[in-house]
Amino acid sequence: MQHHKYLENFLRALGKPLVVFVSRIGELSEFIAKSLYHCVTPPFYPKLLLRQIIDIGFYSLPVVALTTIFAGMVIALQTNAGFSSYGAESAIAEVVLISVTRELAPAFAGLMVAGRIGAAMAAEIGTMRVTEQIDALSTLSTNPFKYLVAPRLWAGVIVLPVLVMIGDVIGIFGGYLVAVYQLDFNPANYIKTTVNELQWIDLYTGIVKAAVFGFVIALMGCYNGYRSKGGAQGVGEATTNAVVASSIIILIFNYVITGLIFTK
Amino acid sequence: MEKTVNKIEVRDLHKAFGRKRVLNGVNLTVGKKESVVVIGGSGTGKSVLIKCIQGLITPDSGSIKVDGIETVGAPRKESEKLYATMGMLFQGGALFDSLSVWENVAFGLMENQKMPRRQAREKAVEVLRQVGLGADVADLSPAELSGGMQKRVGLARAVATRPDIIFFDEPTTGLDPIMADVINDLIIDSVKKLGASALTITHDMASARKIADRIAMLYQGKIIWDGTVAELDRTDNPYVRQFVNGSASGPIKVEI
Ligand SMILES: Nc1ncnc2c1ncn2[C@@H]1O[C@H](COP(=O)(O)OP(=O)(O)O)[C@@H](O)[C@H]1O
Ligand SMILES: [Mg+2]
């Protein structure tokens, strides 16, 4: 008898969050399906896409540059510390190359853009939601998914890979700076090793990750903004949720994509 | 038999959010070129009602006919054509703050009717003039305008596409009494000029009396009374009397 009671209470306690979780997954899936549909069906808004590309890309360049240059620099230092001084000279360039292009540039660019852009998107769309601007779009026969969501998703997928490629160059340059000016290694050797060791899979891994991260950041920004309610506080929550969710998803997907590409 | 079709016909409309029943069997009609005002307390579901009619909220059950055509459960594509004949003035204006004033007013013309920019701008300035705003505000951003001016721009945006039906969500709330009356006059004027039907929701009785051909009262999810302004003053319905007189004592209990 007693056991049944416990079980019942247990299931009940489990039930509510579970129902919320499942309905949230359902809601998100519906949002994704709708977004994808509206991303590929006209009308398109090239001007809005261009504005998003500039917002996401151009203004994120400084933070991406700063984070990747220091990432490249620190990797160079660690590699030097970990290898004997004879082995380090040849290893540094390669280790910097691989870690920056495959892991660090995409992860740092992703996290930085998630903080800057994911938050801004959630705040902007959330404000439009609670001030009824999204309803106003609909009453003017404009689909909010096409007008607001699609340009942001496209921009995320297009811009992040470009940012990551720029981050690759800057990160490798950071490694070069440390190797040449701090550790006094031969600059010509560094460049030669980098060029020789550069493989298609390095670039390709970073770019695939970047495109996925760009999509995730824009999606979380739009989704959380879109469903926000209850005035300024609701918008604040949406902003936080967008950044936290996209950061976590980025780190998980980073692992998953590496696993998919490199596990034989 | 030739039957005159109502512009809007709402039958037994239900809508709940979670466990909270907001609309509980609403019946309401708006005739051609008629101006109907729905009155009711804050949070009684007035906004939800007009959002259901405009397809912004999907009702749980019931029927909404626009020009005699059912929109509840109809394919979105078909209802879209009906929704395109509607205009709406939002409670807070809902102006797009990323666009200038004239781009707001011309939004429907440019995005939907594909009017070229220069022509759309001319049209927008003309509509702005009709609501008493000069060409000098056209290039301002909505945030630079006062509340009354924002209402006017919202009105201009709502009428710019020449809709058949216009919805007004608390058009005078938050305005001083004189500005409120100016907006009332503009509403009457624009609706008449367009030959449109109008559905206004408000709790401002002065505004309701002025712009309504017919008044309906929403209470606990239902329309509990419906009549002309003259009938409003004669009715002995205790709910309506209490609301019209703005009295704290009576059958309507305010949830605090
Ligand atoms: N999208 C929504 N989700 C949940 N509850 C809502 C939503 N829209 C409105 N409501 C609730 O419905 C009730 C009626 O709201 P509303 O129609 O805005 O009232 P009003 O008569 O003041 O316009 C309120 O209690 C509100 O909290
Ligand atoms: Mg309302």
Ligand 2 centre to CA of B130 (Å) is 26
Non-local CB neighbours of A143 within 8 Å, separated by 6+ positions: A38, A137
Instruction: Kindly identify which residue of chain A lies nearest to residue B51, measuring between CA atoms.
Output: A135
| Closest CB from A128, A133, A141 relative to B84 | A141
Contact A175, A92 (CB under 8 A): yes
CA-to-CA distance for A237 and A91, rounded, in angstroms?
46
- Is some CB atom of chain B closer than 8 A to the CB atom of A141? yes
Write the CB contacts of A147 (distance below 8 Å, at least 6 apart in sequence).
A45, A48, A137, B111
CA of B44 to the centre of ligand 1 (A): 7
pLDDT tens, residue by residue, B133-146:
999 999 999 999 99
Residue of A nearest to B92 (CA): A131
Q: What is the tens place of the pLDDT at every residue in A239-259?
A: 999 999 999 999 999 999 999
Averaged confidence pLDDT in chain B: 92
The closest CB to that of A132, out of B87, B94, B112, belongs to B94
The Å distance, Cα B99 to ligand 2 centre, comes to 25
How confident is the prediction for chain A on average, in pLDDT? 92
Instruction: Mean pLDDT check: name the lowest of A19-23, A250-254, B100-104.
Output: A19-23
Question: Measured between CB atoms, does A263 come within 8 Å of chain B?
Answer: no
Interchain contact B126–A (C-beta under 8 A): no
B71 touching chain A per CB within 8 A: no
Place of tokens 């006062």: B146
d(CA B44, CA B46): 6
Instruction: Write the residue with the smallest CA distance to atom 7 of ligand 1.
Output: B17
- The rounded Å distance from CA B173 to ligand 2 centre is 10
Question: Per-residue confidence at B26, pLDDT binned at 50, 70, 90?
Answer: very high
Which residue ranges have their beta carbon within 6 Å of ligand 1? B 17, 22, 40, 42-48
Give the number of whichever ligand sits closest to the CA of residue B48: 1
Report the pLDDT value the prediction gives residue B2, as an integer from 0 to 100.
46
Question: Which residue has the CA at smallest separation from atom 25 of ligand 1?
Answer: B43
Q: Which of B72, B40, B27, B35 is nearest to B54 (CA)?
A: B72
Pick the CATH number of B1-85+197-256 from 3.60.150.10, 3.40.50.300, 3.30.1490.20, 3.40.50.970: 3.40.50.300
Index of the ligand 1 atom closest to the CA of residue B49: 17
Say whether residue A16 is in contact with chain B using an 8 A CB cutoff.
no
Helices (H), chain A: 2-40, 46-57, 61-82, 85-98, 105-113, 119-130, 133-139, 144, 150-177, 187-197, 200-226, 231-262
- Are B157 and A135 within 8 A, CB to CB? no
Q: 3-state SS string over chain B?
A: CCCCCCCEEEEEEEEEECCEEEEEEEEEEECCCCEEEEECCCCCCHHHHHHHHCCCCCCCEEEEEECCEECCCCCHHHHHHHHCCEEEEECCECCCCCCCHHHHHCHHHHHHCCCCHHHHHHHHHHHHHHCCCCHHHCCCCHHHCCHHHHHHHHHHHHHHCCCCEEEEECCCCCCCHHHHHHHHHHHHHHHHHHCCEEEEEECCHHHHHHHCCEEEEEECCEEEEEECHHHHHHCCCHHHHHHHHCCCCCCCCCCC
| A140 vs B contacts (CB less than 8 Å) | 107-108, 111-112, 157, 161
Q: Is the pLDDT of residue A4 over 80?
A: no
Which ligand sits nearest to residue A135's alpha carbon? 1
Interface test with B, best of A125, A132, A146, A229 (most B CBs within 10 A): A132
Note the pTM of the prediction, 2 decimals. 0.90
Please tell me the distance from the alpha carbon of residue B209 to that of residue B207, in angstroms, as a whole number: 5
pLDDT of residue A86: 67
Residue A85 — very low, low, confident or very high, per pLDDT cuts 50/70/90?
Answer: low
Q: How does residue B1 score in pLDDT terms, banded at 50, 70 and 90? A: very low
The ipTM is 0.92
Q: What is the DSSP letter of A60?
A: G
Asked whether residue A83 carries a pLDDT value surpassing 60, the answer given is yes
Q: Which two tokens stand for residue A64?
A: 């991406």
